[in-house]
Amino acid sequence: MFGFLKKSAPDQPAATPSSGWFGKLKSGLARTGSQLLDLFSGGGKIDEELYEELETILITADVGMDATRFLLADLRREVKEKRLTEASQLKEALAHCLTKLLKPLAQPLDTGTHQPFVIMLCGVNGAGKTTSIGKLAKHFQSQGKSVLLAAGDTFRAAAREQLMTWGERNNVTVIAQQSGDAAAVIYDAVQAAQARKIDVVLADTAGRLTTQAHLMEEIKKVKRVIAKALPDAPHEVLLVLDANTGQNALSQTKAFDDALGVTGLVLTKLDGTAKGGVIAAIAKAHPIPVRFIGVGEGLDDLRPFVAEEFVAALLGLDA
C-alpha cells in the first residue's frame, strides 16, 4: 500500500528573498509593466483620456471590470486629495491603491497551529498542483519542518511517479497506492503522519474541471474522509491557479470555494505570459488569501505572496 516511507530532511535555514526572485517576477509581469510605464512616462497631464487608457490596460491585464472600476475610483480620489496633475505622478498613486487592495490577501500560512498540519491541494488539470507540492515541501523543510506527501492523484500515474521521484530525491515521506481511491490514500497518509509525529501533510488530488459534477462530488468526499482521519482537518485547502488563465481563475476560485471552502490560493506560472491582474480581480470579487506565487520551475521559485513586492514588479518599480 505504501509507496515508500522516509524521514524528512534535517532542519535547513529558511530561504531569503533575492533579487533573482524579484527579477523573475518583474520579467513575468513585464507585458503589463511596460504598458503602464509607457503611459506614465509620456509626460502628459492627468485627464480623462489618460484614465481611459489606464482602464484599457488594467482590463487587458486581467484585472477585470469590477476591480478596474474600483481602482480607478480610488485613484481619482488619491489624485484629488494630493492635487496631482502630471501623468508621471500616477505610478506611485496607482501603486498605493493597488497595494491597499491586495494587502488583505497577503496572509502567510501558519502551519504551527496543529500537528500534523494537513494541507489539501485542489485545482483544474494542468494548474501545477503536483509541481507546487514539491516546491511547498521544500519551503516547509527549509523552515525545519518534517513533511509527508500523499499521492492522492490516483487518476494520473505520472502525478504519483512525480511525487515519488521528488520524495526520493529530497528524502521526504511519500504515501501512495498503485491504484485505488484518493480518499483512502490520503486517509492512510494522515494516520501515518500522526504516528510519526510529522509536522506537515501535503495531500495531492486529481485535477478536475469545475463543470465535472461527479468529480467535484468526489473531492468533497476526500475532504470528509480527511476529517474522519483527523478532526478539524484539513487545516488548509489550497487552490492552485494558473495565472495565465486570466478571468477563468475567478470562476475556478468561486466553484472550488463553494465545494470545499478554499482557505488559500497558490498562483503559478507568473513567469510566462501572465498579466498578473487577476490577483486584483480576486481581491475585489472573492478575497481569499494568496498564500504563495510561483515564477518558474525551480524548487525555490514558489514564495509567499508579498503585496508590496508584487505591485512593485507589476508597475516596474524597485523592490
Percent of the chain past pLDDT 90, that is, above it, reads: 61
CA gap 271, 258 in Å, rounded: 29
CATH number assigned to the domain comprising residue 218: 3.40.50.300
Q: Tell me which residue has cell 488563465.
A: 245
Contact 61, 32 (CB under 8 A): yes
Cα R_g (the chain), whole angstroms = 21
pLDDT(91) > 50? yes
Contact 46, 87 (CB under 8 A): yes
pLDDT of 71 reads 97
Residue 19 pLDDT level (bands cut at 50, 70, 90):
low
CA gap 108, 29 in Å, rounded: 22
The overall average pLDDT reported for the chain is 88
CA gap 8, 168 in Å, rounded: 10
Closest CA to 309 of 8, 58, 26: 26
- Residue 287 sits in which domain range? 1-12+19-319
pLDDT(260) > 80? yes
CA gap 108, 57 in Å, rounded: 30
pLDDT of 319 reads 66
Residue 24 grid coordinates = 523573475
Contacts of 247 by beta carbon, 8 Å cutoff, 6+ apart? 62, 64, 278, 281
pLDDT(266) > 60? yes
pLDDT(124) > 70? yes
Closest CA to 147 of 312, 306, 287, 7: 7
Digit-coded pLDDT (tens) for 195-249: 999 999 999 998 888 878 888 898 999 999 999 999 999 999 999 999 888 889 9
CA 41 from chain centre, in angstroms, equals 32
Q: What is the total count of domains within the chain?
A: 1
pLDDT(2) > 80? no
Q: Tell me which residue has cell 481569499.
A: 288
Contact 231, 115 (CB under 8 A): no
Contact 28, 274 (CB under 8 A): yes
pLDDT of 179 reads 67
CA gap 38, 241 in Å, rounded: 29
Closest CA to 229 of 118, 313, 303: 118
The answer to pTM > 0.85 is: yes
Compute φ and ψ for 87, nearest 5 degrees: -60, -35
Cα dist. 45→36, 90, 230, 278 in Å?
Answer: 15, 10, 60, 28
Quote the DSSP letter at residue 150.
Answer: E
pLDDT(3) > 70? no
Residue 1 pLDDT level (bands cut at 50, 70, 90):
very low
pLDDT(155) > 60? yes
3-state secondary structure 1-48: CCCECCCCCCCCCCCCCCHHHHHHHHHHCHHHHHHHHHHHCCCCECCH
Compute φ and ψ for 41, nearest 5 degrees: -100, 10
